[in-house]
Chains A and B, each alone.
Chain A
Amino acid sequence: MKTVFVKYLSICLCFPFHSPRMASGSQEKLYGPSLLNFFIYNPKFGPREGEVRWLFSHMFEGSVSWHNSIAIFLFPPHRTFCPTKPAKSLHTQKNRQFFFEPEEHFWMVMVVKNPMIERPSKGGKPDLEYQEEEIFFALLHSQLFNGRFSKAMDEGGVALLRERLEKFFYRYLQALHLGSCDLLDVFGGISFFPLDKMTYLKIQSFVNQMEQSLNLVKYTAFLYNDQLIWSGLEQDDMRILYKYLTTSLFPRHSEPELAGRDSPMRPEMSGNLLHYGRFLTGPTNLKDPEAKFRFPKIYVNTENGYEELHLIVYKAMSAAVCFMINATAELTREFCEQLDNLVGPRLTLLASDICEHHNINRRTPGLEKEPHFKFIYFNHMNLAEKSTIHMRKTASVSLTSVHPDLMKILGDINSDFSRVDDDEEIIVKTMTDYWVVGKKSDQRELYVILNQKNANLIEVNDLCASQILAG
């Protein structure tokens, strides 16, 4: 079973909390939220009492047994009130359990420990105060990397499914950083790369040419600097692929480039000195006679079901192209060499082109100085996101430039927005005198944080309006 089993899901849990963090001035220890348990479960398995119904379970700290959580399903009172919409989460004093049913009868359960404050009490025994925190949880339902659970069931029965799940989630959960999830994770959007028309056309013609010459290629996606420029995939699939690329695949391969060309760190990669192109998936060295030409398989949705594809990710400098090829086709050494020769030089050239334009644009005046407002924008229609709050999204931690409390307010506003369909606008002033503006219009959401203590409502409104126009 060599299928790379990377189901990408479950982003977004909570707002930045560095755990444990010492609160300034006092002896309080603040613990961020942490993942206790994770299960995948099917109530249809093992109809008899005592039989194992779960497919996968992973326990952290081992404080809650799986029975504990799953028993919730045994008596779901929530069904009484809403037979069609089962509960999504259960909050207790110590933890929260999130339920998600990606496919019928398949349940994912996630138990997250609430953040808490530990105070040294007089008696000596630490006094634990559980602090309720809003924990965001959005399981992205995707069959991108593993296809449907039920399909795996048909293929190889429960054992196969269990094995696959085990493989994927073990690694996935290790990499999950609950403490640093925030609003952007809730959106799960795609950051698009701003580009002028000419360069965009160049990229498009490049993509077309490649699809023409490599006729095996079915879909293509083009990214620069971890931002999307062109994608032939359906939006929802792209969203998950994007997430995988930017948070998992790219960060894993960034080191060699940073190491410099002549450094010993840099492995004997393609051996090709004419360009910087290399494969991020599949063979690391084409010249290596032992090289295996196996690529990860992904599953994308189509009109009638889904299709299985090979995923080839090829990168030159900051530009990356994803080629997706029907899984039935066999990928040979010849094909890879052809691709390398064809794509490598052109991509290298294109990458430096984009870089040049990017730098010109960046040099436009006004943007250099620190603006007195910061924003997050998300468009539900095209999943576009933009943030000036986040410095840079890295693999594990997203660095934000604002206080976690402010991020929580953004989260609160967002959850209010998601509860109603109407367009709304909320302006709030925090206890720390920041102004936070949330605006929802059509399918778009905008959140602005202003640091102007003495502004009044009218000024804030004017400022926002002008900034939005300018932006």
Chain B
Amino acid sequence: MAADVHNSKVNWDIQNESLAPIDKLRIERSDSPTPGIVEGTEPGAAQEKAMFVHTQSFEDLTAETRDTVDGDQEVESCDLTKLSNDLSQLSTHLLGQEEEQGEAEEKGEDQKVEMFDESLASVTSQDSSPCGREDICDITSDAWRNQRKHVFVLSEAGKPIYSRYGTEEALSSTMGVMMALVSFVEADKNMIKSIHGDGYKVVFLRKSPLVLVSVARTRQSEQELSRELCYIYYQIVSLLTITQLNQIFERKQNYDLRRLLAGSEHLNDNLLKQLDRDPGFLLSAVTCVPLAVSTRDIITSSLQAAKAKNLVFSILLAGNQLVSLVRKKDQYLHPMDLHLLLNLVGSSSSFREGEGWTPICLPKFNPSGFFHAHISYLDSSSDLCLILISTSREDFFCLSDCKHRFLERLWRRNAFQNLLEALQTPTYPVDLVGIPELRHFVYKSKSSGLYTSPELPPTYLVDEEQERLMGLYQYLHGRIHNSRNPLRYIYHCGQRENLLAWVTSGFEMYLCFSPLGTKVLAMNTVTKLLKWIRKEEDRLFILSPQTY
């Protein structure tokens, strides 16, 4: 079996002729990175084509989705049409269900609807009060008012769909007012963007047929807040698809979408929590589990081998981190779609109980069609979760088989054990870099769409502090990627920490120093850190993404 490993290695080299052996490449890749580094040679850059749709981290997600859709769309177009047929069937069923007013549990419903219900149920079975909704549901209380960030979703008829805090019922009048504002401004062929007050911002995002509103007391810019709203919008789309969403509201303008989304609130709750804490969402990037390159290669090749006809993406996750991703040739995953998958897996525990099978729309890939995702944990005790995404609705058993083949391969090569061992230390302390004043950093390689960041130092372990640090990163990110006035470099001295943000064509990095750090130190740190990342890049990044 050891020979097998070797073989695959060889194959791998031949398959990709452009890809020189790693050692040779190492020489070409500059060792002490300079700002002049071009995209694709920065530490962590993928040696081959990246696995993600190339995005800028400041990408304006409010842009129309349709632009990104085409091009990627030769994907078994027949499959997709079939899909959309299924979909319209599904939606008619759902609508039928709605007309029957809550008698959805009735037997005799079509299998598809059941499937959809199940998927929602599976998604929703987690504890229903993740953020203590009860304590703060009184919308007249100060506690409710003083929340850092409110998010509301409503329909164009002013019907509440989602509120981060408090119950939607209690907020129906507030939402009505918001909708009135929106349509009032629109009556003048204008579009409301935001309201600014002393210390707070109200940002509106209009995504017909929905209206999303965020009320924030953070330092985030309007641009960043509407990006977050966009995530919430796509989260909703990923459950329904745009087509269905439009159909529902075309049929009945004042439809109460909560009926359809019932139980999925915690997906939004969790997403919002992640948006406040996970730098990946900010950077449109994902982070990888630090893993020896040999182990990762075995996993990747095993994923590669376990292919099926309709399989588009195989993704192995460990918690919020990526272990490996294999994709169909010419099909790229958008980081945002991956974030939604991460969110789906991360916010429900039900997938642990067995193999899950759920339709999911990847809005950045195609907002009008469903994929079908086979989601299962490899091992009950670990966070290792395998997501297999197929275009076919009937593929459950086929994908289940893929999973077994994959697992079998892993076992045969003893990679599974290595992986579990590596997962014992899914993060690394910042001390490894060897700069005492450096508290934390986030480094993103632009071409690969991957980022790396050490674990949070003790200073930022409290939720509040963690969100404050993220708030500072968000602030720097917003400033440096300001659409009007982009910057190259920001050094920010505050009372509690010093921060440095630097964006080049190849990478971007955000560093957090103790307040005692000097500017000289910051400059030296950058060089030292880049060298360190270069040294560790094959552990921290996926340098050679694969296709089937």
Contact = CB atoms under 8 A, between A and B. Distances in A.
B174 A77 contact: yes
A420 B218 CA distance: 11
A90 B195 contact: yes
SS class, residues of chain A in contact with chain B: mixed
A428 B202 contact: no
A405 interface: yes
Interface size class of B (residues with CB under 8 A): 35 or more
B468 to A, nearest CB: 12
Interface string B457-486: 000000000000000000100010011111
A26 interface: no
Interface string B208-224: 00000001000100100
Chain B facing A: main interface SS: mixed
> Which of B184, B197, B479 counts the most chain A CB atoms within 10 A?
B197
Interface in A288-306: none
A461 B519 contact: yes
A153 to B, nearest CB: 27
B193 A424 contact: no
A90 B485 CA distance: 22
B188 interface: yes
Interface stretch (A81-89, A253-261, A274-282): A81-89
A275 to B, nearest CB: 51
Contacts of A412: 479, 482, 485
A91 interface: yes
B190 A88 contact: no
B114 to A, nearest CB: 40
Interface in A124-146: 131-134
A52 interface: no
Interface in B162-188: 174, 177-178, 180-181, 184-185, 188
A91 B193 contact: yes
A426 interface: yes
A334 B276 CA distance: 73
Interface stretch (B13-21, B43-51, B419-427, B491-499): B491-499
Interface string B185-209: 1001011111111111010000000
A426 B475 CA distance: 12
A423 interface: yes
A180 interface: no
9 closest cross-chain pairs (CB), A and B: A429-B489, A425-B493, A93-B191, A85-B198, A427-B491, A91-B193, A87-B197, A429-B488, A422-B495
29 contacts: A64-B188, A68-B188, A77-B177, A77-B178, A80-B139, A81-B150, A82-B197, A83-B145, A86-B197, A88-B198, A89-B195, A89-B196, A90-B192, A90-B194, A92-B192, A92-B193, A93-B191, A93-B192, A94-B190, A132-B193, A405-B485, A409-B485, A416-B479, A419-B199, A428-B489, A429-B488, A430-B485, A430-B488, A457-B519
Given A80-B177, A88-B196, A423-B495, 11 more contacts: A72-B181, A77-B178, A82-B198, A93-B190, A408-B485, A409-B485, A416-B219, A416-B479, A419-B219, A426-B491, A456-B523
Interface of A: 64, 68, 71-72, 75, 77-78, 80-83, 85-95, 131-134, 405, 408-409, 412, 416, 419-420, 422-431, 433, 456-458, 461
